[in-house]
Amino acid sequence: MGKIRQRLYFIGVFILLSIISLVPRNQKMRIRDATTGTMKDTTVRRVPINLGLDLQGGIHLALEVDQSKGPVPDCADAIQRAERVVRTRIDEFGTTEPVVQIQGRCRLIVELAGEKDPARAKSVVQRTAFLEFRITDMKGLFKDALPQIDAALRRAGVKSRGAAAPSAVAQLFGGDTAKAERDSATDANTPGVLSSLLFQGQLPGEYLVPEEQSTLVDSLLNRPDVRAAMPRGIELRWGSQSESRGARRYRALYAVEARPIITGEELVKATARRDPVTNQSVVPFQLSHRGARKFSDETARHINDYMAIILDGRVQGQPPVIRSQIGANGQIELGAKPLQEASDLALVLRAGALPAPLTIIDEKTIGASLGADSIRDGVRAGVVGVLLVIVIMIGYYRMAGALAVASLTLYCLFTLAGLAAFGFTLTLPGLAGFVLSIGIAVDANVLIFERIREELVHGKSLRLAVDDGFLHAMNAIVDSNVSTVLTALILYAVGTGPVQGFAITLIIGIAASMISAIFVVKTLFLIWLYRRPDMVTLSI
């Protein structure tokens, strides 16, 4: 009896530990307050089992450093710095339990559970958010260099092909462009490939390009011979939006100084609000002391010049004129864009710029209702599967089968507790693995019961048959389970996300079944034999 009591204590401790790890507990989450739009900590009470994105819905992104515009020498370092920035942004973003982690060397995984707006999430994560202020080309250096650029293009044999250079007048007045295009193909006297596409804007350094020509202009500007012909200290930046003048839409192209007077690094605060007068979304910002000093020095030197606010290489709005020295405070105007966009911009500006642009290489979005359906279906399949197993086991093994079924409930408890205790995530394949492992979990009991039957057939006493049955079945149980664990470990090592979830559930399930099917069932058998010492036949 002492031995049984010891075993019971042991099982009791296990059950207690499992229950403790499954007790609903308070968890802190950062949630966006619906009324004020600010982030605040909220505590939620729930069972501490993490559900994978496929079960609760959400967004999974895999990002890498964008190497398409030239190689990045140390991508591991870039990703590590990007991880810190993205984490800061996501913490402000307002999802519960976000995952931001580096996978391998140069890959960043971002998982946002429950997030419903993938486009917004992507823009917050992916946006480089590199802010800079540059003075526009006040001296007209780019304009002076245009003939040279055109000459360079002509030398390279670039003709104004197709729609490239219809006469500017015809275009501006919305004339018969199709005819003009045909004419222009043979026109050798075009004023210049590039200059014919550019129209002087309202302020120094501003040029307008017809919307449909902007990709062509962009490709021309990226040519090495054009880059070489560019005046020193001047760069070109596109405007962020296109605007309509008359019947056509134009995109602004700005010639700006290559040296920024200040960058977003000096920014300490950014908020979003709607200007009550103009009804525009604006992002007021504040600079650090050092930044403010630099900014006021520079702006003092550039009174009456135009200053382009450039975010991720795009000029935001029309560059304002500097009327007087500017100190620590300024604002970015976003026009008619919604306030949400302004607050996201403020968020990424506060969190800082990414060290390098990131590109999304893998993206998954799962709707919350789909996840809920998956849980419902998975649980239903699990319940039916378990019921079938119970029917088979009790129908075949009677009392012994009932003991195995009793231990099966402990098996479920242990597995769930294992998932909670080690902080593993339950995914949909994991749920399937769990259901499957219930079928496999009884294998140990089947092996033991068959052995006991064999020992009984060989005429052993009940007690000896039970002991030998457990003992002799051990070898097969250990060998078969170890080989299963080995394949599961390989799955875990090689797989990603959902497959890892499956492997984890399988491994925890096997460990749990070792305890429940062997130790618990043996204890139940010992109690059974102890209470019925006069029993001659075993209900097995």
**Which residues 66-105 are close enough to bind other proteins by CB under 8 A?**
68
Nearest approach, Cβ of 394 to other proteins (angstroms)? Answer: 11
How many whole angstroms separate alpha carbon 66 and alpha carbon 157? 32
User: Which one of residues 228, 303, 486, 535 is an interface residue with other proteins (CB under 8 A)?
Assistant: 486
Taking residue 202's Cβ as centre, other Cβ atoms within 10 Å add up to 9
Region label for 246, one of left (φ > 0), alpha (ψ between -120 and 50) or beta (otherwise):
left
According to CB under 8 A, which one of 494, 530, 532, 535 is a site residue for other proteins? 494
| 318: helix, strand or coil | coil
Nearer to other proteins, 476 or 514 (CB): 476
Alpha carbon distance 69, 79 (integer Å) = 17
User: Residue 484, interface with other proteins (CB under 8 A)?
Assistant: yes
Check residue 197 for interaction with other proteins (CB under 8 A): no
Kindly state whether residue 472 participates in binding other proteins, applying the rule CB under 8 A. Answer: yes
Contact yes or no for 332/283 (Cβ under 8 A): yes
Q: Considering the rule CB under 8 A, would residue 453 count as an interface residue with other proteins?
A: yes
How is residue 253 written in tokens? Answer: 């192209």
Give DSSP secondary structure letters for 65-110.
E--TTS--S-HHHHHHHHHHHHHHHHHHHT-EEEEEEEETTTEEEE
Least distance in angstroms from the C-beta of 395 to other proteins: 7
Output the smallest distance, CB 124 to other proteins, in A. 16
Instruction: Identify whether the C-beta of residue 93 lies closer than 8 Å to the C-beta of residue 100.
Output: no
Q: How far is the CB of 503 from other proteins (least distance, A)?
A: 8
Q: How far is the CB of 23 from other proteins (least distance, A)?
A: 28
Among 186, 189, 244, 369, binds other proteins (CB under 8 A): 369
Site for other proteins in 324-363 (CB under 8 A): 359-363
210 versus 378: smaller Cβ distance to other proteins: 378
Residue range at the interface with other proteins (CB under 8 A); choices 165-173, 304-312, 411-419, 502-510:
502-510
What is the three-class DSSP state of 16?
helix
Element (H, E) at 40: strand 39-46
Does the footprint of other proteins cover residue 42 (CB under 8 A)? no
208 lies in the binding site for other proteins (CB under 8 A):
no
Taking CB under 8 A as the rule, does residue 117 contact other proteins? no
Figure out which of the listed residues 56, 365, 407, 415 binds other proteins, where binding follows CB under 8 A: 365
Span near other proteins by CB under 8 A; candidates 28-36, 218-226, 296-304, 424-432: 424-432
- CB burial of 350-366 (b: ≥16 within 10 Å; e: otherwise) equals bbbbbbbbbeeeeeebb
Query: Considering the rule CB under 8 A, would residue 27 count as an interface residue with other proteins?
Result: no
In the complex, what is the shortest distance from the CB of residue 539 to other proteins, in angstroms, rounded to a whole number? 8
Binding other proteins (rule: CB under 8 A), the pick from 32, 139, 249, 364 is: 364
9 close to 27: Cβ distance less than 8 angstroms: no
Residue 123 binding other proteins, by CB under 8 A: no
| 406 touching other proteins, by CB under 8 A | no
Q: Alpha-carbon distance 48 to 358, whole Å?
A: 33
| Candidate list 141, 221, 491, 529; residue touching other proteins; CB under 8 A | 491
Binding flag, residue 482, other proteins (CB under 8 A): yes
CB 392 to other proteins: min, Å: 6
Of 68, 69, 104, 67, nearest to 83 (Cα)? 104
| Residues with Cβ within 8 Å of residue 187, at least 6 apart in sequence | 160, 165
Stretch that binds other proteins, among 180-188, 203-211, 270-278, 380-388 (CB under 8 A): 380-388
- Closer residue to other proteins, CB minimum distance, 47 or 490: 490
- Cα 7 to Cα 2: distance, rounded to the nearest angstrom: 9
Please choose, out of 279-287, 332-340, 415-423, 443-451, the segment that lies near other proteins by the rule CB under 8 A: 443-451
The correct pick among 98, 166, 205, 498 for binding other proteins (CB under 8 A) is: 498
**Among 179, 308, 330, which residue's Cα sits nearest to residue 235?**
308
**Residues 243 and 295: beta-carbon distance below 8 Å:** no
Of the candidate spans 42-50, 188-196, 449-457, 522-530, the one that interacts with other proteins by CB under 8 A turns out to be 449-457
Handedness of CA 470, 475, 479, 480 (dihedral sign): negative
State whether residue 326 is helix, strand or coil.
Answer: coil
Residue 487 Cβ vs other proteins, minimum distance, rounded to whole Å: 4
Q: Which DSSP string corresponds to 335-384? A: TT--HHHHHHHHHHHHH---SS-EEEEEEEEE-HHHHHHHHHHHHHHHHH
How near is the Cβ of 481 to other proteins at its closest, in Å?
A: 8
Nearer to other proteins, 63 or 349 (CB): 63
Interaction between residue 312 and other proteins (CB under 8 A): no
**Structure-block tokens of residue 400:** 């012994």
The values of phi and psi at residue 90, to 5°, are -65, -35
* Pick 33 or 377: Cβ nearer other proteins: 377
Looking at the Cβ atoms of 220 and 442, the one nearer to other proteins is 442
Applying CB under 8 A, among 261, 447, 524, 526 the residue interacting with other proteins is 447
SS (H, E, C) 397-428: HHHHHHHHHHHHHHHHHHHHHHHHHCCCEECH
Query: Rule CB under 8 A: is residue 440 a binding residue for other proteins?
Result: yes
Closer CB to other proteins, residue 67 or residue 200?
67
